[in-house]
């Protein structure tokens, strides 16, 4: 033995107070070559100034819904070692699942407004987060996987964002499915735009009444009680265009959405598109166009149970994490926190 060296090591806080261990480290001298080296300590990694249990403690905190500042405060250490631990944690996937769901969320990190969530729709697990939602970036990511892995994907669930349309070609055996929420809201938006346009031409009292009663007009007619039905019938009596828009919406809800099979949905959708196209309501033109462009994916949603509901749930968790942390400037830190949280 050559000499001793006192080393200060950070450890888990005790009773909420900062804890420092003072290790009397021994240094040995080789009798053959004369070189000196320190003894190996089982709870301390090479070149580290904190115990392994503190590293595990911080790693566990990083998987919780809290900000990095809060983790630093609880661990009684500066942000630098916490960022270093986060950087070293391994996240990501090596193979593709049977069901892939994708959906964007507002991230605002690294100068990109939207990021993309990739979720395993069968096992309800976040697979990865992409920095942008552009078609080229998504294609580049999925092409990293072998053709055999991409052939194992059976369902590809997405919303009606145009760049996503041809991504299903990356998965030769996959069925494109459009999330129900995204195509149903197209009809609600169209109806709401008709109501808002017609409201502007009403007198003040009537306009206020229609605005305050809009929730009744949004609901399916069959879900209303007798008193609410009288109110809706009265409102529809005032304006022909709102009544026409309401009937188209109700026809969509009562006939198309209640279809039981693919063939039944196909027939009902064709009839509804024909009826909507023959109206003079410009607000429905965009909804009709979207349903025609995404027709196959919409009809497939009647035979497959998978939706983007789980993805939306994860996106809500991401929003909470982002709010607690007052946003993230660094995308990679944001991505790792999301994957650890999931």
pLDDT > 90? residue 196: yes
Which of 28, 53, 88 is the C-terminal boundary of a domain?
88
pLDDT at residue 245 in the model: 94
User: DSSP state, 130?
Assistant: E
Looking at the chain, list the stretches that DSSP marks H as alpha helix, in order from N- to C-terminal side.
52-61, 68-75, 79-88, 135-142, 147-151, 180-199, 204-212, 214-218, 226-238, 240-251, 262-277, 283-293, 295-300, 309-324, 331-341
pLDDT at residue 131 in the model: 93
pLDDT at residue 297 in the model: 93
Same-domain check for residues 127 and 239: no
Torsion of CA 150, 154, 160, 165, to 10 degrees: 40
- Write phi, then psi, for 270 (nearest 5 degrees): -60, -45
In tens, the pLDDT along 296-308 reads 999 999 988 899 9
> Is 57 a domain residue?
yes
Same-domain check for residues 221 and 291: yes
How large is the average pLDDT for residues 141-145? 93
pLDDT at residue 32 in the model: 87
Same-domain check for residues 69 and 113: no
For residue 106, list its beta bridge partners: 114
How large is the average pLDDT for residues 46-58? 89
Between 1-10, 116-125, 152-161, 242-251, the lowest mean confidence (pLDDT) is in 1-10
How large is the average pLDDT for residues 13-40? 87
pLDDT > 80? residue 342: no
Q: Taking CA 151 as the corner, what is the angle to CA 147 and CA 155, rounded to the nearest 5 degrees?
A: 140
Confidence of residue 247 (pLDDT cuts 50, 70, 90): very high
pLDDT at residue 40 in the model: 83
pLDDT > 90? residue 165: no
Alpha carbon distance 338, 342 (integer Å): 6
Q: Is the Cβ–Cβ distance between 312 and 157 less than 8 Å?
A: no
pLDDT at residue 298 in the model: 93
DSSP SS3 for 63: coil
* CATH number reported for the structural domain that contains residue 326 in this entry: 3.30.420.10
pLDDT higher for 143 or 48? 143
> Is 94 a domain residue?
no
Same-domain check for residues 75 and 112: no
The neighbour count for residue 45, using CB atoms within 10 Å, is 13
pLDDT > 90? residue 257: no
How large is the average pLDDT for residues 16-41? 87
pLDDT at residue 105 in the model: 92
Extract long-range pairs of 228-233: CB within 8 Å, 24+ residues apart. none
Same-domain check for residues 191 and 283: yes
pLDDT > 80? residue 221: yes
Alpha carbon distance 321, 334 (integer Å): 9
Confidence of residue 36 (pLDDT cuts 50, 70, 90): confident
DSSP SS3 for 157: strand
The candidate with the shortest Cα–Cα distance to 65, out of 314, 309, 304, 265, is: 314
Q: What's the domain count of the chain?
A: 3
pLDDT at residue 190 in the model: 94
Question: What is the pTM (predicted TM-score) of this model?
Answer: 0.83
Which of 88, 119, 139 is the C-terminal boundary of a domain?
88
In tens, the pLDDT along 265-294 reads 999 999 999 989 888 899 999 899 999 999
How high does pLDDT run on average in the chain? Answer: 90
pLDDT at residue 44 in the model: 86
In tens, the pLDDT along 81-103 reads 899 899 888 788 888 999 999 99
The candidate with the shortest Cα–Cα distance to 256, out of 267, 242, 243, 245, is: 267
How large is the average pLDDT for residues 175-193? 93
pLDDT at residue 11 in the model: 93
Same-domain check for residues 132 and 192: no
- Write phi, then psi, for 128 (nearest 5 degrees): -165, 165
pLDDT at residue 48 in the model: 84
Alpha carbon distance 134, 124 (integer Å): 24
Residue range of the domain that includes 267: 180-300
């Amino acid at each position: 033995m050559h000499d001793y060296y006192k080393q200060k090591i950070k450890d888990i806080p005790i009773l909420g107070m900062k804890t420092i261990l003072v290790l009397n480290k021994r240094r040995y001298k080789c009798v053959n070559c004369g070189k000196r080296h320190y003894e190996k300590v089982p709870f301390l990694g090479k070149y580290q100034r904190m115990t392994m249990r503190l590293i595990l403690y911080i790693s566990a905190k990083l998987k919780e819904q809290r900000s990095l500042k809060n983790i630093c405060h609880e661990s009684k250490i500066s942000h630098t070692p916490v960022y270093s631990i986060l950087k070293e944690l391994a996240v990501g996937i090596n193979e593709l699942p049977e069901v892939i769901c994708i959906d964007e969320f507002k991230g605002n990190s690294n100068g990109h407004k939207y990021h993309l969530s990739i979720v395993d729709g069968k096992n309800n697990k976040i697979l990865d987060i992409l920095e942008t939602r552009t078609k080229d970036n998504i294609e580049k990511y999925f092409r990293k996987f072998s053709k055999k892995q991409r052939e194992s994907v059976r369902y590809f669930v997405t919303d009606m964002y145009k760049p996503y349309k041809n991504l299903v070609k990356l998965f030769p055996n996959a069925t494109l499915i459009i999330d129900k929420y995204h195509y149903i809201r197209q009809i609600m938006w169209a109806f709401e735009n008709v109501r808002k346009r017609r409201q502007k031409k009403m007198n003040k009292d009537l306009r206020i009444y229609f605005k305050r009663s809009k929730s009744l007009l949004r609901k399916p007619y069959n879900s209303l009680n007798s008193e609410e039905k009288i109110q809706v019938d009265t409102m529809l009596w005032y304006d022909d265009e709102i009544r026409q828009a309401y009937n188209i919406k109700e026809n969509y809800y009562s006939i198309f959405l209640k279809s039981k099979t693919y063939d039944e949905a196909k027939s009902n959708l064709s009839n509804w598109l024909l009826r909507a196209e023959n109206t003079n309501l410009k607000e429905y033109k965009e909804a009709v166009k979207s349903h025609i462009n995404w027709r196959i994916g919409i009809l497939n949603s009647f035979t497959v149970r998978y939706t983007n509901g789980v993805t939306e749930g994860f996106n809500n968790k991401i929003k909470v994490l982002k709010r607690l942390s007052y946003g993230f400037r660094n995308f990679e830190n944001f991505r790792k926190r999301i994957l650890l949280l999931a």
